[in-house]
Amino acid sequence: MATLHLLSHSPFSDGRFNSCLPLLGDTDALLLAGDATYALTAGTKPATELEQLPEQVALFALEEDVQARALGMLPTRVQLLDYAGFVELTCRYERINSWL
């Protein structure tokens, strides 16, 4: 069953990001919200790890959180979402696993 993983903690101050990545199945997706969007910071280890995820794993981020942090040079595979897109995404995945 496809699972959408929702991360909101920064990978630079918390271990959830590192715990989450190895658990992603081929049909799973990862949505970065809040400080978790710092994982997209160009040239950093978390950004490289995101680039190296299997192709089938879809990567999303909340656009307002990316903009609020002035993150540029985003990995090409990341798709930015507004809240309507966030809701639509949760409809496409049978389970949503929030890394609280």
Partner 1 sequence: MKFVIALFAPPHSPAARRALRFAEAVLAGGHEIVRLFFYQDGVHSASANVVAAQDELDVAAEWSRFVSANQLDGVVCIAAGLRRGVLDAGEAQRYQRPAANLAAGWELSGLGQLHEAAQQADRLVCFGGQ
Residue 11: which of 51, 29, 31, 38 has the closest Cα?
38
**4, 28 contact by CB (below 8 A):** yes
The contact mask relative to partner 1 for 56-95 (x = CB under 8 A, - = no) is ------x--------------------xx-xxx-xx----
Alpha carbons 25 and 62: distance in angstroms, whole number: 21
How distant, in Å, are the alpha carbons of 1, 17, 31, 43, 67 from that of 82? 25, 22, 12, 25, 11
Cβ closest to partner 1, residue 13 vs residue 76:
13
Q: Which stretch binds partner 1 (CB under 8 A): 4-12, 39-47, 53-61, 70-78?
A: 4-12
Count the site residues for partner 1 by CB under 8 A. Answer: 20
Enumerate residues 31-50 that contact partner 1 by CB under 8 A: 33-35
Q: Which residue has the tokens 């790890």?
A: 49
What does the binding site for partner 1 look like in residue numbers (CB under 8 A)? 6, 8-10, 16, 33-35, 62, 83-84, 86-88, 90-91, 96, 98-100
